[in-house]
A and B are shown apart, each in its own frame.
Chain A
């Protein structure tokens, strides 16, 4: 990183952290710059790495499939013309249909069937029982078709305990994660910028 880059990054970091003292125009300016830069960067990189090689180049080369795909995409924009707005449904239908066709089996396999299979195939023992009880009781908590009374209520309540343990573990990791970001920026400010670190 060049000296100018280091100074800009340091000033940007301090501007964002100034919010911890109180809301101020410097913080808001830094926030707007960050959002603007992120969107601008996404736009440029999408044009450079996708629109040019995948759309512009095939069209200029006279590739019939490239031209057809570009026309198909442009149909999405007919929504702004009330008379031709219905044409936008054609590419939208393909996107929804293809998306559902691809994602439903993939998600069902990865998130449900494989996970259930792993639970059923697991080595019998304490861990397996804890896991099985967790799955059943958590599902019971989210089963709203019948009132939660008696033994079913106790099972659902056990499910809430499992959920709380999960949320607790996730929250612990979240604190660790956020502290890591602070450590990273402090390391940059004290080390790379000020040169105070050994």
Chain B
């Protein structure tokens, strides 16, 4: 079989096996904690108990398998540190995903809604909403995601603008952290951090140098490292076994492809 007639479905099959096998039989590879992940961990760790952080679920459902473990690890850490959480979203699909995650995790730890966490919900015009929250969260979101008046919730009476928050974390699969940096960080001075899909990491790393971002954590690997730092084994850690074997399979396929290509070229 030559490269020209090679059925690419064989490659799909190999990659699927490389992903599925370590999920069924875990290898238990350890993800060393990188300085970037440690920086994010320290940032959350240094916040005083009872501080308020905003989590914005700026992602679509299609990237949730990658972003979800990042969000899960961050929320678990925030709950462990007894931080208060305000959830929101500027992408429609992220709204339900974020609410579902916070509901599930806060139920496990018994964090009461309204006092320890609230969910503002979705706004389509994100720049206007980011600027609006800098003036008054209650004006921008008169009601929470469930339709309750915001002023009826104890946490929202405590937090009026970004000035009352210790940190804003954008859980994003695209360029939304850029707008957080420009409009919430640049204009109102609130500290911004972001949990990203891996593909966006190179775009936002330069903002760490200029301190416009306080911390960046990226992709499934970032989630696995964060889980290790937290001392738990979640979906990020489980996925890294599969990630490693799939990378190995890709490297082998690249070598095989190149060898076949050059061997075929020598023939008359």
Contact = CB atoms under 8 A, between A and B. Distances in A.
B239 A50 contact: no
B202 A122 contact: no
Interface string B96-123: 1000000000000000000000000111
Contact of B19 (A21, A110, A183): A183
Contact of B219 (A111, A115, A166, A176): A176
A198 B250 CA distance: 26
Given A41-B92, A49-B122, A114 B219 contact: no
Nearest to B20: A186
B243 to A, nearest CB: 6
Interface residue tally on A, bucketed by range? 35 or more
Contact of B199 (A110, A173, A198): A173
A111 B175 CA distance: 13
A96 interface: no
B127 A191 contact: no
Interface in A1-45: 20-21, 38, 41-42, 45
Contacts of B197: 177, 180
Interface stretch (B45-53, B205-213, B255-263): B205-213
A102 interface: yes
B216 interface: no
A110 B179 CA distance: 9
B192 to A, nearest CB: 10
Contacts of B209: 115, 118-119, 122
The SS class assigned to the A binding surface is helix
A190 B24 contact: yes
B135 interface: no
B122 A110 contact: no
A115 B136 CA distance: 29
Contacts of B93: 38, 41
Contacts of A197: 23-24
A119 B68 CA distance: 34
B32 interface: no
Contacts of B220: 176, 180, 183
B210 A115 contact: yes
A179 B243 contact: yes
Contact of A107 (B20, B182, B247): B182
Contact of A49 (B68, B121, B178, B200): B121
A41 B95 CA distance: 11
B145 A183 contact: no
B127 A179 contact: no
Contacts of B268: none
Given A102-B131, A122-B209, 16 more contacts: A21-B9, A45-B92, A49-B121, A53-B142, A53-B143, A110-B185, A110-B186, A110-B207, A117-B210, A173-B200, A180-B65, A180-B197, A183-B243, A196-B24, A197-B24, A198-B26
16 contacts: A41-B96, A46-B124, A49-B121, A103-B182, A110-B182, A115-B207, A122-B209, A169-B202, A173-B218, A177-B63, A182-B16, A187-B238, A187-B242, A190-B20, A197-B24, A198-B26
- Per CB-CB distance, the 9 closest pairs between chain A and chain B, nearest first, are A184-B65, A118-B210, A180-B66, A106-B182, A180-B220, A177-B199, A177-B198, A42-B92, A173-B198
Interface of B: 9, 12, 15-16, 19-20, 23-24, 26, 62-66, 68, 92-93, 95-96, 121-124, 127, 131, 142-143, 145, 178, 181-183, 185-187, 197-203, 206-207, 209-212, 218-221, 235, 238-239, 242-243, 246-247, 250
